[in-house]
Amino acid sequence: MGRSGFTAVELIVSLLIISILMTGVLPTLGVLKSSEDVKQELILAADEVAIKLGISVYQILYDRLPESVEDLVHSGIITGEGAREIEYVEGTVILK
C-alpha cells in the first residue's frame, strides 16, 4: 500500500525545524529561569534529540548504524564534539 518509514529529506527537514526552534529556546533560558541545572538539562535534551535524529539520517545515507557520535560528526550530519557514547539496546538508542 504505502511506504514505511521516512525519507532522508523528511528527516533532514525535521532536524532543521528542531534546530531552528532550539535556537530560539536556548538564549531565553536566562530570562525564564536563572537555574544552571535547568539550562544544562535543556542543552542535553537538545543534544539527545539531534543525535537520535542524526542516527536515523546516518542509517538512511550509509545503510548501517553509526558506532559512535564521532561517526556522526565526521560525516557532517551533526556538528559539535563527539563526547557521548552510543549504545543500542533492543533497537533503542541509549546515550552515555
> What own/partner pairs with CB < 8 Å and gap ≥ 24 does 88-96 have?
93/51, 93/52, 93/55, 95/48, 95/51
pLDDT confidence bin for 63, thresholds 50/70/90: very high
Residue type, 88: Y
* pLDDT tens column, 33-50: 567 777 788 888 888 888
**Which pTM was predicted?**
0.60
Q: Are strands 86-89 and 92-95 parallel, antiparallel or unpaired?
A: antiparallel
pLDDT confidence bin for 62, thresholds 50/70/90: very high
Predicted confidence at residue 48, as pLDDT, reads 87
Predicted confidence at residue 31, as pLDDT, reads 62
